Amino acid sequence: MEKRMAPSSGRLSLAASQVEFPPVLQERYTTIFLPVSNMGFLMSKSMDANLQKQQEFMLHNSRLQMERQILMQNQMRERQMAMQIAWSREFLKYFGSFFAVATLGLTAGAIKRKQPGMLAPIVPLGFVFAYQMDSAYGTLIYRMRGEAENIMASEHDRLDLPLGTPTYESIEKARRAKTGLISFLEK
């Protein structure tokens, strides 16, 4: 809604005084000396444009930061999962050795003493060995992931925290109770 005075009048208002320009200079100085009523509008328009650009820039940066954070958290999760699988494989080596020695020893003892009851510990140890084998090299991870997705989809109420999701107010209340310090904003 910019209003300009007619070039034939030769006058533009500048602050409180009236300045007269010859018609030849009228076009040249129109861009420098704007009418007071339009000057605020043009500055406001420019500031709005700059504010809009700044908001877009901030939104773009926050999106980039969030994407980086998501990628970083996913990489940390993948590393933790890789460590867990590696731990299962390493544990399986030691437990497998123990299971083999125990099975051989118990079998030899049962044959030598003619007591088949000595073979009983092999059954639970066999279940533990099978679980570790499935965890280290089998499909346990995939079955667990499928079950977790099922829980999240159909039994979401089991995932609720005891007192609900923590809020800023609850965290601040606990912080104040623990430290006894107040922030400078609360003074």
**What's the pLDDT score for residue 52?**
86
* Segment holding 176, helix H or strand E: helix 168-179
pLDDT over threshold 80, residue 91: yes
- Please measure the distance between the N-terminal and C-terminal CA atoms of the chain and give it in whole angstroms: 46
Q: In a 3-state reduction of DSSP, which class is residue 144? A: helix
pTM for the model: 0.58
Nearest Cα to 115, choosing from 106, 128, 104, 124? 106
Confidence of residue 155 (pLDDT cuts 50, 70, 90): very high
**What's the pLDDT score for residue 114?**
93
**What's the pLDDT score for residue 40?**
56
Instruction: Indicate the average pLDDT of the chain.
Output: 81
Give the DSSP per-residue string, 5-74: --TTT-EEEETTEEEE--HHHHHHHHTTS--HHHHHHHHHHHHHHHHHHHHHHHHHHHHHHHHHHHHHHH
**What's the pLDDT score for residue 47?**
80
Domain residues of the chain, as ranges? 52-159
- Compute the average pLDDT of residues 47-76: 90
CA atoms within a 13 Å half-sphere pointing along the CA-CB vector of 4: 13
**What's the pLDDT score for residue 71?**
94
- Compute the average pLDDT of residues 108-114: 94
pLDDT over threshold 70, residue 7: no
**What's the pLDDT score for residue 5?**
44
pLDDT over threshold 80, residue 30: no
Cβ burial of 12 (10 Å; 0-12, 13-18, 19+) is buried
**What's the pLDDT score for residue 161?**
87
- Compute the average pLDDT of residues 127-135: 95
Which has the minimum average pLDDT: 63-72, 81-90, 118-127, 176-185? Answer: 176-185
Q: Cα 172 vs. chain centroid, distance in angstroms?
A: 22
